[in-house]
Amino acid sequence: MTQTRLASRTSEGQAELYNTVKTMAVRFDFKPGERINEVELARRLNVSRTPLREVLNQLMVEGFLTRAVNRGFIARLLDAKQIHSLYEYRAVLESGIVRAACERASDAELAELRAFVERSRDVPEDSEATRLLELDEAFHLMLARYSRNQEFVRALESVNARIHFVRWIDMQQGRRAHTQAEHMRIVQALERRDIDALPGMMGAHIGRRLDQITDVIRTGFSNIYMRDQADPAQAAQADTTTGEHR
């Protein structure tokens, strides 16, 4: 095997490892505030610690993990104020995206967007939350691509990953019908090229109050600990943690 092919396979393996561990972090398979046991995780994933540590360092830079002296890597907290800040950032980001898309998207692309929203409305409300969230994220990423600005796409993908779990809980709580109606109103405003109205519409569509996010996070904690059939002491600790970060 040549060095080039070996390097390619190594790179592919590292990318796969990164995607696997990132998915675990996004879904809070690592419980909030939990110390990550590198030895155990490496054994579980059947990898050596060196590439795993590179991945953990990258995820720390991206905000999915933190690091503490004498403790190593720590799973991020499910913090209401931080999530609220991310929602504020996303609202500003997507207001810019929709404005750029209004200026730059072709009529054919807007027809494609309308068709996507109409198809999405046919997906049953009681479908799995993961599928519903995929459709919602796809709508917003289509808009980002229509902006003709790849930095918008990268930024949106990044913030989506960091709030993915909270939005997944939201979908479980039946927000989709409301969301779909707002998507169609945004499409209609794009078709009118109503560039002045669109940023406000998008900001209102995305924005969430701190108390709303706190309620969703409380549900999120229950989901995290119930899926592992945690004992009552852990659930109580989770509720306490939610209160500390309101």
Tens of pLDDT, residues 7-40: 455 678 889 999 999 999 998 999 999 999 999 9
Percent of the chain with pLDDT over 70: 85
Residues of the chain with CATH 1.10.10.10: 3-77
CATH fold of 3-77: Arc Repressor Mutant, subunit A (1.10.10)
Q: Tens digits of per-residue pLDDT, 60-85?
A: 999 999 998 888 999 998 888 999 99
Residues 61, 54 contacting (CB under 8 angstroms): no
Residue 108 to residues 94, 112, 197, Cα–Cα distance (Å): 21, 6, 21
CATH fold of 80-214: Four Helix Bundle (Hemerythrin (Met), subunit A) (1.20.120)
